[in-house]
Amino acid sequence: MDIKFNKNEDHNKLLLSELKKRLAKVKLGGGQKSIDKHHRKGKMTARERIDYLLDTKSKSIEIGAFAGDEMYKDYGGCPSGGVVVKMGYVSGKQCVVVANDATVKAGAWFPITGKKNLRAQEIAIENRLPIIYLVDSAGVFLPMQDEIFPDKEHFGRIFRNNAVMSSMGITQIAAVMGSCVAGGAYLPIMSDEALIVDKTGSIFLAGSYLVKAAIGETIDNETLGGATTHSEISGVTDYKAKDDKDALDKIKSIVDKIGDFDKAGYNKSDSKKPKENPQDIYGILPKSRADQYDMKEIIKRLVDNSEFEEYKEGYGKTIITAYARIEGWAVGIVANQRQLVKTKKGEMQFGGVIYNDSADKATRFIANCNQKKIPLVFLQDVTGFMVGSKSEHSGIIKDGAKMVNAVSNSVVPKFTIVIGNSYGAGNYAMCGKAYDPRLIAAWPSAELAVMSGNSAAKVLLQIETASLKKKGEKITKEKEEELFNEIKSRYDNQVSPYYAAARIWTDGVIDPLDTRTWISMGIEAANHAPIEKPFNMGVLQV
């Protein structure tokens, strides 16, 4: 190992350590005091409920762990968006589990909470996965009701999705394990089966105080909408559980009886570990985002037996297209090559940039994978499309549009891992969030933005200094440097993978060594949903 490898390794392991610290913090939800208070009520926390529900020692992935990170500071924050979402196995069946975290503002819904719940439902719908709701929420966070209540992708969309999933035959099970009030009361009742925990669970459109104010009736919450009321009088719930564990055990039993699913038929063989040591990724991935490295060395540490078959190896070298297997599943890999490469004509091409030939190659490969029913994996480290007169005259816009078209119309499941840069239109062509990847995750080394912090700061600095000069201010070299650093610092914060994850532009920031699990579990989930339409790229200016 050389000194550069060691420096890269130290840097990336520090980023990994930061990831683990951040995860440990968000997993505390509303804090230890809130957790202790929750336990005193005889209730498990959201994460404890999910851990108990999921099969012991089975794999799982958490969606949106950093949702809401550093947001809503005026209201004390909203760790993990106030809701925990995991894809895992219940009684051997792959499911999506959604649990309100009542240690965070009593499980109230912030705007990001709604977005995260919709993302969980989207995953269940796309993959025809059973979805389990563990409900414990005070409803909409009233100070921000205008950002969560009325719009198309707001609170009401949850119940619309309940109805749509029911019509699609997607199993939905809800356990009321705490408060379930107002509009939120519809979620468990629009599920296929509903459970309620005695003494701690309650469902009502309006609580006792509001009932008293509205119609003058005096009644306590338990009599109004507790477990006995809804299990024996109203018939709203289907099962009454004595405590949290009893409710979760009943869910396990219900899921255990669900029949098998129609399979999409993606190719799978026995899983094999990579021959090359995956730990080497930390040393291969450069400390500086501007440095070159060979993406093929990363791929070798992600795929089974470290084997892959390149498609058009000698053409369009700034994008690697290859067939491989990940934990047994056949995949088509589209990856940005970060090395400076030479074409057969002797021309040098910058790594991480999409040229005409590489866009053309990727388009053809994506079409091939759709024809063969092979899931696609995008490994992003892209600075964008090549600019300049030569590229423009060669039709880079047309070639780029063809690639974007192929990604947009792809009918096989797509999975995106942001390894390094994810800038500008390169983000789109390499299947960014707007292009419906089934799952999208970022490594701690990732950056997502229109352009790099350095480039953006230079552009913004020119605008800022021009504005100040118009006002008659004199811009010294020291003032210019101060402005540049201020702008760059602000912009760098926005390109952080945690900034993106907080807003659910990605499903999470993950350890590179977890990449195989994310992709394999994602393909297994996608295998529940047979492809319903043929691949068609529509009309293109070719």
Q: What is the pLDDT of residue 473?
A: 77
**Would you say 139 and 192 are in contact if contact means Cβ atoms under 8 Å apart?**
no
Please state, for a pLDDT cut of 70, what percent of the chain lies above it. 98
Q: d(Cα 70, Cα 471) in Å, to the nearest integer?
A: 35
pLDDT higher than threshold 80 for residue 436: yes
Q: d(Cα 94, Cα 361) in Å, to the nearest integer?
A: 35
| Residues 153-172 pLDDT 10s | 888 899 999 999 999 999 99
When pLDDT is averaged across residues 427-449 and rounded to a whole number, the result is: 95
Q: What are the contacts of 405-408 at 24+ separation with CB within 8 A?
A: 405/363, 405/537, 405/538, 405/540, 406/362, 406/363, 406/366, 406/367, 406/537, 407/366, 407/431, 407/435, 408/435
CA distances (Å), origin 423, targets 139, 383, 448 = 37, 5, 6
Q: Letter for the amino acid at 230? A: H
When pLDDT is averaged across residues 209-219 and rounded to a whole number, the result is: 87
Full-model pTM: 0.93
Alpha carbons within 13 A on the beta-carbon side of 242: 1
| Residues 475-527 pLDDT 10s | 778 877 877 888 777 777 888 999 999 999 999 999 999 999 999 999 999 99
Residue 186 neighbours by CB distance under 10 Å: 17
Q: Which of 403, 508, 415 is nearest to 126 (CA)?
A: 415
When pLDDT is averaged across residues 422-431 and rounded to a whole number, the result is: 92
pLDDT higher than threshold 60 for residue 542: no
Q: What is the pLDDT of residue 524?
A: 98
User: What's the pLDDT band for 452 if we cut at 50, 70, 90?
Assistant: low
Cα three-residue angle 90-91-96, rounded to 5 degrees: 20
pLDDT higher than threshold 90 for residue 378: yes
Q: What is the pLDDT of residue 179?
A: 86
252-288 per-residue burial string, b: 16 or more CB within 10 A, e: under 16: bebbeeeeebeebebeeeeeeebebebebbbbbbbbe
Residue 532 neighbours by CB distance under 10 Å: 7
The 8-class DSSP code of residue 184 comes to G
Q: d(Cα 174, Cα 124) in Å, to the nearest integer?
A: 14
Q: Which of 423, 411, 412, 419 is nearest to 448 (CA)?
A: 423
Strands (E) across 337-492 are located at: 341-342, 348-349, 353-354, 376-382, 384-385, 414-423, 439-442, 447-449
| Residues 287-330 pLDDT 10s | 988 889 999 999 999 999 999 999 999 999 999 999 999 999 99
Please give the mean pLDDT across all residues of the chain. 91
Q: What is the pLDDT of residue 480?
A: 76
User: What's the pLDDT band for 457 if we cut at 50, 70, 90?
Assistant: confident
Q: What is the pLDDT of residue 393?
A: 63
Q: Which of 170, 330, 173 is nearest to 259 (CA)?
A: 170
Please state, for a pLDDT cut of 90, what percent of the chain lies above it. 70
Q: d(Cα 366, Cα 407) in Å, to the nearest integer?
A: 7
When pLDDT is averaged across residues 237-261 and rounded to a whole number, the result is: 96
| Residues 61-106 pLDDT 10s | 999 999 999 999 999 999 999 999 999 999 999 999 999 999 999 8
Q: What is the pLDDT of residue 540?
A: 64
Cα three-residue angle 475-479-483, rounded to 5 degrees: 110
Q: What is the pLDDT of residue 345?
A: 75
CA distances (Å), origin 516, targets 245, 326, 438 = 32, 6, 15
